[in-house]
Structure 1
Amino acid sequence: MVYTEAYIKEKLAKELDAVHVEVTDESDGCGAKFSAVIVSDKFQGKPLLARHRLVNSVLQEELKTIHAFTQKTLTVEQWKQQ
């Protein structure tokens, strides 16, 4: 299955109660490489590795066919400070 920016964005927003999600398909539309910025209070108190593991668990099935996925994970407070 080929995944879209909209599909990934909707799933992350829903599963992580995210207040902001940006997803970019960096593979010219083939759905093999994505980057994401995710802002959620579910990241509060978690180190970077734990945040990434949380995101990866949400996209567990999708990551079987996505070849590259980069992510920036922020709490709401961190997002406001930018």
Structure 2
Amino acid sequence: MPSEQDLRTKIESGLPDLHNLIVTDISNGCGQSFDVVVISNTFEGKNKLQRSRQINNLLKQEIAQIHAFSCKCYTEAEWSKVVV
């Protein structure tokens, strides 16, 4: 099973211009469900589907091993409005 650190490392190495990354194991540590928030200006000009696909492609092998995966992708400007 992949860990929070496994997902974090894969995203950090594969996504340029990463501003912030929040990876949370929401399955009480058993590695079956993850919630991920990615903040990067790489997402500028991309819609939600394109953003999600970019992260899903990075984590293709890890996602195949887990039960549930949720990912929210924001640019820095969008994130600043979310965390007011």
Q: Does the TM-score normalized on the shorter chain lie above 0.5?
A: yes
Aligned residue pairs, count? 81
Which residue pairs with 2:5 in the alignment? 6
Is residue 56 of structure 1 aligned with residue 45 of structure 2?
A: no
Cα RMSD of the aligned pairs, angstroms, is: 1.1
Alignment of 1:42-53 (within 5 A): 42-53=42-53
Alignment of 1:27-38 (within 5 A): 27-38=27-38
1:13–1:20 Cα contact (<8 Å) kept: no
Question: 1:36 aligns to what SS in structure 2?
Answer: strand
Question: 2:60 aligns to what SS in structure 1?
Answer: coil
Q: Specify every segment of 5 or more residues in structure 2 that has no aligned partner in the other structure, as ranges.
A: none
By how many angstroms is 1:33 displaced? Answer: 0.3
The runs of at least 4 consecutive aligned structure 1 residues that moved more than 2 Å come to: none
Which residue pairs with 1:23 in the alignment? 23
TM-score (norm 1): 0.90
**Percent identity over the alignment?**
36
Judge which range, 62-71 or 9-18, deviates more. Answer: 9-18
Q: Distance in 2 between matches of 1:12 and 1:61?
A: 12
TM-score (norm 2): 0.88
By how many angstroms is 1:24 displaced? Answer: 0.4
